[in-house]
Amino acid sequence: MERRGSTMQMGGGAHVLLLPFPVQGHICPMVEFSKRLASKGVRVTIVIPTVSAATKSMKQLLAAQPNNSSFKVELISDGSEHLQKLETAEEHSERFRRVITRNLSNLITNINKNASIDSDNSEDEYDNDDYPLKCIVYHSCMPWVLDIARQHGLDGAPFFTCSSAVTAIFHHFYEGVLKIPSKHARISSTTMLLPSMTAPLGFNDLPSFLSDVDAYPAHLKSTLSQFSNIAQVKWIFCSTFDKLEEKVVKWMASLDWPVKTIGPRIPSTFLDKRLDDEKDYSLSLFKPDVETCMKWLDSKEAGSVVYVSFGSLANLAKDQMEELAWGLNNSNYHFLWVIKESEKEKLPINFFEDISEKGLVVSWCSQLQVLAHEAVGCFVTHCGWNSILEALCLGVPMVTVPQWADQTTNAKFVADVWKVGMRVKVDEKGRITKEELVMRVTQVMEKEIGMEIRKASLMWKQLAKEAVDEGGSSHKNIEEFVAQLRCMIR
């Protein structure tokens, strides 16, 4: 078993700074990546670029945990705590970039000032500040961090938290290979086979920033900016594994991108069990109601519960929430539904009285522990990339209910490429009806019909484990990165 933060090997002393974008789905895989680096003796400082109440309490929670010495967490301000008025998307990204550039630069200067050049002398004392920084791994949506790294003489590497297929699709658009006709000039049945893809895609399978290029201009601009300096970076980390996206990963390599697939990154307890690890992500912006969920699940038969979650950023229309609510209540299965506090008011009146013992609603759960529970038979998911990887790792079949961003593309791959789930169809108003939800859930849950999906789920679970096990593709990529870091002189 690899012990976190305990292995100091010859030529050690590498110190890496990781900068996730401050949303849950971006923090999780980067923290798990940090733990792996730390288990190999790399010093890691995770910098969360905001000082909100949630990140402060997250840092306190981490400090209270035993075994927390594998990485340090620093919070830096993005200036949002001083805001007097609502900002436009452009003002937001300009302020974020300006304030983070200044505060990140100051932090790097301080770390390097404290760093002792002869770091090998202090192997027993864990203090990141003893080690000069060598590299910044930043979320790919902040490509300008490469300039900050360079100004301090460091290497920089983007970390893509989405699927590589999604990254490739955006790159095809960036390069003009993928051309998207305006909505009224399209034939809706048209499909496209892009150079990096195994399956043809329809317009509705594209990320929503592209299927409707006018709908989210600021998001599209920011996503495309990821490629602005990609030819200059030393490594590109992707939260996926080779076998899952073989053709796309090969296509990326054919562009001479220095890609390192390092996924799936979920706590070791749930996959390879090679780290002395926790049962949940170490940094969570929300507090899970673990006991209530586990007790309730323990009282249910194996494979009898439908788990439903729309992720950390869910914001569904009221009529859609109502349809889903009645769909779940009309199905033959128990359900555990995560609904953020702010969304609960969209539920039908008397919903809680009506569901009685059939369903449990919580504001946040430990999704990994829920998916790992034998009572859970399927996952109705919004198709956030982390949720997909977690379901794959735990062998849980899915019913996909994508909302926006990359979720539409992820849903396509779940249903038609990896064949580990079914996609719900929307009606002419773009809504999922209760009847459609009941039908898809039943198809996945029923023993006969869902058999092939369950078989495929178990196959991907095995392949995910192999990727992170000793000698697997993701394991090798992390070993190589660590070896390269150690060879770097600063």
Indicate the residue among 338 and 347 with the shorter CB distance to ligand UDP.
338
Indicate the residue among 180 and 362 with the shorter CB distance to ligand UDP.
362
The one-letter amino acid code at 327 reads: G
Indicate the residue among 313 and 417 with the shorter CB distance to ligand UDP.
313
Nearest 5 degrees, angle CA 282-CA 285-CA 289?
Answer: 80
Indicate the residue among 22 and 25 with the shorter CB distance to ligand UDP.
25
Indicate the residue among 130 and 277 with the shorter CB distance to ligand UDP.
277
The distance of closest approach from Cβ of residue 311 to ligand UDP in the complex, given in angstroms and rounded to an integer, is: 3
The contact mask relative to ligand UDP for 255-294 (x = CB under 6 A, - = no) is: ---------------------------------x------
Indicate the residue among 326 and 379 with the shorter CB distance to ligand UDP.
379
Tokens (6 digits) for 396: 């849980």
The distance of closest approach from Cβ of residue 338 to ligand UDP in the complex, given in angstroms and rounded to an integer, is: 4
Q: Interacting stretch for ligand UDP, rule CB under 6 A, among 141-149, 193-201, 250-258, 304-312?
A: 304-312
The distance of closest approach from Cβ of residue 6 to ligand UDP in the complex, given in angstroms and rounded to an integer, is: 26
The distance of closest approach from Cβ of residue 242 to ligand UDP in the complex, given in angstroms and rounded to an integer, is: 20
Cβ-contact 109, 129 below 8 angstroms: no
CA distances from 329 to 356, 363, 402, 447, 477 (A): 10, 18, 20, 20, 46
- Looking at beta carbons, which residue is closest to ligand UDP? 384
Indicate the residue among 23 and 459 with the shorter CB distance to ligand UDP.
23
Near ligand UDP in 65-124, by CB under 6 A: none
Indicate the residue among 47 and 389 with the shorter CB distance to ligand UDP.
389
The distance of closest approach from Cβ of residue 403 to ligand UDP in the complex, given in angstroms and rounded to an integer, is: 8
Q: Interacting stretch for ligand UDP, rule CB under 6 A, among 148-156, 305-313, 430-438, 453-461?
A: 305-313
357: three-class secondary structure by DSSP: coil
Of 305, 288, 287, give the one whose Cα is nearest residue 296: 305
Tokens (6 digits) for 203: 């317009």
Q: Interacting stretch for ligand UDP, rule CB under 6 A, among 60-68, 183-191, 267-275, 362-370?
A: 362-370
Near ligand UDP in 385-404, by CB under 6 A: 385-387, 390
Indicate the residue among 140 and 366 with the shorter CB distance to ligand UDP.
366
Indicate the residue among 156 and 384 with the shorter CB distance to ligand UDP.
384
Q: What are phi and psi of 2, to 5 degrees?
A: -80, 130
The distance of closest approach from Cβ of residue 415 to ligand UDP in the complex, given in angstroms and rounded to an integer, is: 17
Indicate the residue among 6 and 52 with the shorter CB distance to ligand UDP.
52
Residue 44 and residue 14: Cα distance in Å, rounded? 9
The one-letter amino acid code at 34 reads: S
Tokens (6 digits) for 47: 């910098």
389: three-class secondary structure by DSSP: helix
The distance of closest approach from Cβ of residue 265 to ligand UDP in the complex, given in angstroms and rounded to an integer, is: 10
The one-letter amino acid code at 43 reads: R
The contact mask relative to ligand UDP for 307-346 (x = CB under 6 A, - = no) is: --x-xxx------------------------x--------
User: Contacts from 470-476 at CB under 8 Å and sequence distance 24+?
Assistant: 470/274, 472/241, 473/241, 473/242, 473/243, 473/261, 474/241, 474/242, 474/261, 474/262, 474/263, 474/264
DSSP3 helix / strand / coil % (the chain, rounded to 5): 45, 15, 40
Indicate the residue among 5 and 384 with the shorter CB distance to ligand UDP.
384
Q: What are phi and psi of 143, to 5 degrees?
A: -60, -20
Cβ-contact 208, 415 below 8 angstroms: no
Which residues does 222 contact at the CB level (< 8 Å), separation at least 6? 93, 141
The distance of closest approach from Cβ of residue 284 to ligand UDP in the complex, given in angstroms and rounded to an integer, is: 6
99: three-class secondary structure by DSSP: helix
> Should residue 384 be labelled a site residue for ligand UDP when binding is judged by CB under 6 A?
yes
Q: Interacting stretch for ligand UDP, rule CB under 6 A, among 46-54, 251-259, 324-332, 378-386?
A: 378-386
Q: Concatenated DSSP letters for 197-250?
A: -SS-EEGGGS-HHHHTTTT-HHHHHHHHGGGTTGGG-S-EEESS-TTTTHHHHH
Indicate the residue among 73 and 370 with the shorter CB distance to ligand UDP.
370
Cβ-contact 238, 259 below 8 angstroms: yes
The distance of closest approach from Cβ of residue 387 to ligand UDP in the complex, given in angstroms and rounded to an integer, is: 3
Of 366, 380, 312, give the one whose Cα is nearest residue 341: 312
| Total interface residues for ligand UDP by CB under 6 A | 20
Torsion sign across C-alpha atoms 183, 187, 189, 190: negative
Q: Interacting stretch for ligand UDP, rule CB under 6 A, among 317-325, 361-369, 414-422, 438-446?
A: 361-369
94: three-class secondary structure by DSSP: helix
CA distances from 300 to 178, 304, 481 (A): 48, 7, 44
The distance of closest approach from Cβ of residue 269 to ligand UDP in the complex, given in angstroms and rounded to an integer, is: 14
CA distances from 211 to 157, 169, 179, 436 (A): 29, 11, 11, 23
The contact mask relative to ligand UDP for 5-44 (x = CB under 6 A, - = no) is: ------------------xxx--x----------------
Enumerate binding residues for ligand UDP (CB under 6 A).
Answer: 23-25, 28, 288, 309, 311-313, 338, 364-368, 384-387, 390
